[in-house]
Amino acid sequence: MLQIIVVQSGDSIYSLAKKYGTTSDSIVSLNQLNPENTLVIGEALVVNTTGNTYYVQPGDSLYKIGKTYNVSMDTIAQANGISLKSTLQIGQRLYIPRGKKRSVESIGYLQPTSNPIKPSLLESARQESKYLTYIAPFAFEARRNGTLKEPVGLQSILEIANQNRVIPMLVITNIENGNFNSGLVKPLLTDTTIQSKFITNILTVAQKYNMTDVHFDFEDVAPEDRTAYNEFLRNVKARLPRGYTLSTTLVPKTSADQKGRFYEAHDYKAHGQIVDFVVIMTYDWGWQGGPPMAVSPIASVKKVIQYAKTEMPASKIMMGQNLYGFDWTLPFKQGNPPAKAVSSVGAVNLARKYNVPIQFNYIAQASTFKYYDEQGKEHEVWFEDARSVQAKFNLIKDTGIRGISYWKLGLPFPQNWVLLNDNFQITKKREARPSSPSYGLDDIYTP
């Protein structure tokens, strides 16, 4: 049974293997560790215990354990001869009958910056595609005249998708000169001639590359173009071939009348009626230009999902999940150089380098630490670890939403993929039969 543990002072890979009835090789493999490195105090690891044995960890409850393993609190209590009101003791051994895993969909965005694509990025896509329903090359850039600029390295990504039974998404953005641009998208939404040409070009590309989900990531759309954006989506939906789906990206909102430049044109209710599913960007509360804080604090994510469920079916909601954290230089002041992005593995390496323990913030459900660099400057780091993504997986189960969408592949976070596979059955694309080479979402099954 897989479970999350936290490194304490004096722990080693060998001592943890002995304590939890597993092997050093298993711990190294599951967490992709360098066995020559020391472990970091506060570091979260995934271990494979014997049988269905679970060892109680700090912050555990019967409810939390049951949600993680898809089984009721009553079942755990009965299997262990304890009361539902029992106080769990850290280190206590429990027998956990495993429940049935729920099927969900998953998306992995991929953002190549060079052509050819860096081999390490392609290898990441190959490995992580095993856990994906969709792969999303970022991105086809819309042009004001209704044409599309193709992303670099597309053919390599399509080959990986085909080899791993993953659906390639045709992600279309209103990015111009590196930034989302409201002026770019306006003629596409309001000029009928240009729009018709634009949709025709989209369908041509989708069919050429067998990209059976058409996805619009239009951000910074002018508030006055809200209705035009909704109508545009209806027009695209009406022209999609059978077996193709339509999806959109939405900024994280908590009310229909939320004000702000990026919020007003994103109409949750209309998108919920028109498209097949949405990806909500439930991250970047902590961002590069803002003060240090968790990137996706659990309470904030939950509020957005709860609001979204009032406007559309849960079966249409994909929760966004960051595979990155940030390293801020202190003291924070507006206008400072932006925080540096770090992966989960990179954050742990920083804590090891500067010999500082990792703290887990139970309110945000995120990991953090501070350190001083060689110049004596203080830093604050926030990042995702096994505990924080497990909290998000449990939120998916609680809310019954469609699944999860990762921004972005190529940032090493081995525990995420191990736990995703342990928590859920990932929906995969059916193998194409010779007589029917092209499949859409209607032909997805759970293996």
User: DSSP letters along 46-113, please?
Assistant: EEE-STTEEE--TT--HHHHHHHTT--HHHHHHHHT--TTPPP-TT-EEE----PPEEEEEEEEE---
Residue 384 is among the residues annotated as catalytic for this protein:
no
| Beta partners for residue 346, in sequence order | none
* Cis before 116 (ω within 30): yes
Residue 263 CB neighbours (<10 A): 17
- CA dist., res. 347 & res. 402, Å (int): 30
Residue 42 CB neighbours (<10 A): 20
Among 95, 136, 118, 126, residue whose Cα is nearest residue 1: 95
| Beta partners for residue 424, in sequence order | 102
> Hey, what are 414's tokens?
């081995």
| Beta partners for residue 108, in sequence order | 135, 406
| Beta partners for residue 404, in sequence order | 106, 319
Give the side-chain half-sphere CA count within 13 A for 92: 17
| Beta partners for residue 217, in sequence order | 173
Considering 219, 311, 380, 384, which one is annotated as catalytic?
A: 219
- CA dist., res. 276 & res. 73, Å (int): 34
> Hey, what are 12's tokens?
């080693």
Report residue 54 CA to chain centroid gap. 26
Among 370, 376, 290, residue whose Cα is nearest residue 335: 290
Cite the active site residues.
Answer: 219
